[in-house]
Structure 1
């Protein structure tokens, strides 16, 4: 599942109540200097709300958000910064939790690798959504049927005012579960993934696609290259495999790893970097140097930093002082 390092929703306050997890997004754009968002109308409830929906079995929250928004708006999107979620009791006595992200329309050219890696878009059903509307944010606040839905909108407006809304993602992945050193009799750089590790690599694909990853950078060592290979195949991206992201080269020259991370922060392209546990302190140090204080304070600080197959999504905004990490999420993709 996906969760921000600072939980947007917190634990449910209703003990023993069945929980329904759902996810969606606030799709935004700028027109003539005005911030606009997209609302959908659901005929079943006769309400105007944000596009969202329930998770499918084995689906990560962020993957569900990208899928549901695309299905209900009819256009693929790319997830941005996480927004405050909502939780409430349904008339049946269940707890409904809705997780939201800011989102932008995907570009067929710039986001082609991520779109290629996704499942085909299902056409929206008019039984679920019969109208869609782009509105200035003040008009959207007035149009929303539920007052609680204005909470994520207010956070979106604040992020836009602070220059934290237009972002690209730099995703840090620790390679999947590998054979133990004791069980492997080859070289360290050739130590392979276990079957679980291969499943973790496959589980990364829809998550990376949801964040619009177009650039792939990885340690050349087998366990990293194999972890990222499913996304490379699905997206048809051309990976950059590097020896200096391996454990031995990092020990000799951590500055080259730091330079690679800085390049990804500056690039403006959503990217993924796959590396090893001993390399993560250098990676996280660079992220911390380019982070807002509130973000730097919640970056992983204890070994092992990330578990095998886990990823950290850093949302990066361009500022006058250079790239700034304005939000982070830690994700454990579901593996079956």
Structure 2
């Protein structure tokens, strides 16, 4: 099977407090399930999760830790649905239509009896695998910025190229899922520019931290840098810097491509989940 044969979809298991979960009724299938839907062509899976939840429920959510993806056959093809824990940030109200005609908040202990599919029941049970209340730290590697060898000026001033600008635009559609409280960047232009599209949307300032620079980077600085990281932020830096941070924080070897991001979901001082995305 090629990736072209795979149907991609995304959604969320939305909680109210720790005792209620949102289920939607679809009249076409006469079922009860979690809000989800297929990705648009070229759409990032995280952005799709936000959009589909909003379209099916009227809810704007903030995503918590990722849940196990669900796989099943649909119209003879394999379908993968990526899910996250969701928390409500805004409620515009459901407008019933042919796709979803009812949203119901159900006690978690009763939801299993209402859900129509075994894979949804397994997803519900996975809520107990790790803490539900987490704080995200988003680590971003700057977008594509051409070749260092072909740039005549100071390397810190090297800007994003066309592909890098496109990656920054995708990032601006992804970051609302995590609503970072602060934006922190290496002084390098390519890092600052990677965060600028989201900063404009969010109306937020970008803080510059020299410790995030790749110039004269020394692994011995990692503890100092880790200690300086804000708890709920997006941090943009370099391929030489980020692996040490992820290793120090989560104990994992993560190598991000340019424009890629790692989301570390923390409960207190403990990282309980790490997700990785390209842009």
Q: Give the structure-1-normalised TM-score.
A: 0.77
- Among 49, 70, 87, the residue aligned to 1:65: 49
Paired with 2:53 and 2:39, the residues of 1 have a C-alpha distance of: 12
Question: How has the CA–CA distance of structure 1 residues 150 and 42 changed in structure 2, closer, same or farther, with 3 Å as cutoff?
Answer: same
Match for residue 34 of structure 2? 50
Give the gaps of 5 or more residues in structure 1: 1-13, 109-120, 289-295
Distance change in 2, residues 1:158/1:285 (3 Å): closer
Determine the C-alpha separation between the residues in 2 that align with 1:27 and 1:274: 29
Q: Which runs of 5+ in 2 are unaligned?
A: none
1:147 correspondence with 2:118: yes
Tell me the residue number matched to 1:134. 105
Following TM superposition, by how much is the alpha carbon of 1:173 offset from its aligned partner in structure 2, in angstroms? 0.5
Q: RMSD value over aligned CA atoms?
A: 2.2
Correspondence for 1:324: 270
How far off is 1:257 after superposition? 2.0
- Residue 26 in structure 1 maps to residue 26 in structure 2: no
Aligned residue number for residue 309 of structure 1: 259
Q: Which residue of 1 aligns with 2:137?
A: 170
Mapping 1:293-308, distance limit 5 Å: 296=251, 298-300=252-254, 305-308=255-258
Relative to structure 1, the CA distance from residue 173 to residue 142 in structure 2 (aligned partners, 3 Å threshold; closer, same or farther) is same
Is this contact kept in 2: 1:63–1:210, CA < 8 A?
yes
Q: Counterparts of 2:265 and 2:98 in 1: how far apart (Å)? A: 35
| 1:76 partnered with 2:26 | no
Q: Does 1:227 align with 2:194?
A: yes
8 Å contact from structure 1 (residues 258, 282) kept in 2: no
- Aligned partner of 2:83 in structure 1 is 100
Question: What residue is the counterpart of 1:260 in the other structure?
Answer: 228
Q: Count matched residues.
A: 278
Residue 137 (structure 1) shift: 1.1
Deviation at 1:244, TM superposition (A): 2.3
Q: CA deviation at 1:124?
A: 4.4
Answering whether residue 236 of structure 2 is matched by residue 274 of structure 1, we say: yes
Cα displacement string for residues 278-298 of structure 1 (whole angstroms, at most 9, x for unaligned residues): 21233123213xxxxxxx3x4
Q: Distance in 2 between matches of 1:171 and 1:260?
A: 14
